Structure 1
Amino acid sequence: MEKGVPIRSITRSIAALRAINRAGSLNMMEIAKASEVPYATACRIVQTLLYEGLIEQEPARKRYRATMLVQTLATGYQQDDALVRAARPHIVELTRRFGWPVSIAVRVGREMMLRDSTHSNSSLTFEHYYPGFTLPILDSASGKVSMAFAPDEEREMILRFMRVSQDIDLNYLATAEVGLDVERIRADGYAVQGRNYHNLTPGKTSSIAVPIFRNGRFEGAMTLAFFVAAMKLSEGINLYLADMKATADAISHALSNEVMGHA
């Protein structure tokens, strides 16, 4: 793979399109904030996306929304739903028992993307999260699990690209790397995020994540989230970790058997 600095204008445009798609519609100021770019830059990005037909302005409102044309960006990509099929009944049952929402996430680039969740099955949640929602890989329990169980060369490649990215503060990255205790996570079989700041309700939830394997290889992370006000993180670990690990093992077994059955 070639090394180098990513093209910043493309990175910003993707961030803007992703923000618009996630929110449903945004005004120009919201797009600038979500993309972390100056207002004038956001205007140029929006004009480009309008020209390409990927977004449109809402009638009678200065808000912008994605068009059906964004679906063409996925043309040719065949999603393997084996993970969701294997995990779904298990995470629904875990939520039924404990009440808290559970999610399944996989790594996409330097982010974790939700593939499935039980937020709609639980009243113990502030927001509903749907497939496609993303979290930063170093600031989420699922991301820490993903990084810990990734092959060493793959983890170093991710960190290398993050170091040359113009959109990531190097002081933040250095601190996050120090806090990523790979050996501890591997040994204990889980990772935590004391407060989730990069979701729809910043600072109000904590998370515990455990790995899911596919024929012995890390496939994704299962995360249980609970209110910070409801209990301490240590209490959550004592109450839920053993059952989470057992559930993840059951998903891994089902996933591996399905893969072998379709081979």
Structure 2
Amino acid sequence: MKDEALDRGIPIRSISRAIAVLQAINRGQSLSMMEIAKASAVPYPTACRIVQTLLHEGLIEREASRKRYQPTAMVQTLAHGFQGHGALVHATRPHIAALTREIGWPISLTTHVGSAMVIRDSTHAQTSLTFNAYFPGYAMPILECAAGLVYLAFVDIAERNTILNSLAYLDDDDSRHMLQLAREGGLIDTVRSSGYAARGFNRFTQNPGKTSSIAVPLFEQGAIAGALTLAFFASAIKIGDAVKLFLPALNACATAITEDLDADPVAAAG
């Protein structure tokens, strides 16, 4: 009975906005108030109040020499108790490392958490063809990244509807537009039929607008387990050209990982 009540419940907007602000600061590492409001899509006055609360709780701090805010080590306490995806990461790591050595561009493994896709492993530190290194825990809005669109396209209908229904409570224009495309614009069907998703000039990165990406689904025992994303400089390669160049290798990498997981899940867990 309690679970049914939770399913019908409406998310508390103030908490959702606070999470968005903290995620924006965590992504940006050092942001001004204006940058925080823009990156989190939270109205400036509301973002200011949230920042004051996060300062009080010790999750962020203000730089002494300028009016910018950065996360503290306290944010790590929010992950205590999470067991991670050890088997998936263990099976994925050698394959994405080999693919980055082959093509040069970084590859990320992401999984779904709430309204976001979260990086579990990546090869950004392995290559110079990146603006920043991305470490486990970095989160991107599910509708705003190629990995998220892939996940929505290949997850079962019930879970997809649950995710989309929860996203309906977001009140920024970009989210509403992407949600409409996902529900009514054929976006999900297009991604599912093509087998991949692509996003140009990614917004929710440490260098907004500087990279584009291609993502493919990663399966385990017939169900989607996450996504592999290849990121590249938006100024270097057009998306259409990148798809022709890299999609076959990215798909082959995902297939090899799936075969390893399905062949011996216990061994994959290390």
Same fold per TM (> 0.5)?
A: yes
Question: In the aligned structure 1, how far is the partner of 2:41 from the partner of 2:138?
Answer: 18
Distance 1:258 1:73, change over 3 A: farther
Question: In the aligned structure 2, how far is the partner of 1:159 from the partner of 1:153?
Answer: 10
SS at match of 2:168: helix
Q: Superposed, which structure 2 residues align to 1:103-252 within 5 Å?
A: 103-167=108-172, 169-252=175-258
**Percent identity for Structure 1 against Structure 2:** 51
Distance 1:141 1:70, change over 3 A: closer
Contact preservation (8 Å) 1:5, 1:165: no
Give, in angstroms, the shift of residue 172 of structure 1.
4.3
Q: Deviations over 1:100-131 (max 9, x none)?
A: 11111111112211111112212222333222
Distance 1:147 1:47, change over 3 A: same
Residue 105 of structure 2 aligns with an amino acid whose one-letter code is W
Q: Superposed, which structure 2 residues align to 1:50-69 within 5 Å?
A: 50-59=55-64, 61-69=66-74
1:74 is aligned, of 73, 79, 88, to 79
Residue 244 of structure 1 aligns with an amino acid whose one-letter code is L
Q: What is the aligned length?
A: 263
Distance 1:204 1:95, change over 3 A: same
Question: In the aligned structure 1, how far is the partner of 2:235 from the partner of 2:39?
Answer: 28
Question: In the aligned structure 2, how far is the partner of 1:239 from the partner of 1:250?
Answer: 19
SS at match of 1:93: helix
State the partner residue of 1:15: 20
Q: Which runs of no fewer than 5 residues in structure 2 stay unpaired?
A: 1-5
Q: Superposed, which structure 2 residues align to 1:14-33 within 5 Å?
A: 14-33=19-38
Q: Which runs of no fewer than 5 residues in structure 1 stay unpaired?
A: none
State the partner residue of 2:10: 5
Distance 1:172 1:96, change over 3 A: closer
Distance 1:51 1:198, change over 3 A: closer
Residue range with higher mean Cα deviation, 145-154 or 116-125: 116-125
Cα root mean square deviation, aligned: 2.6
Give, in angstroms, the shift of residue 61 of structure 1.
4.5
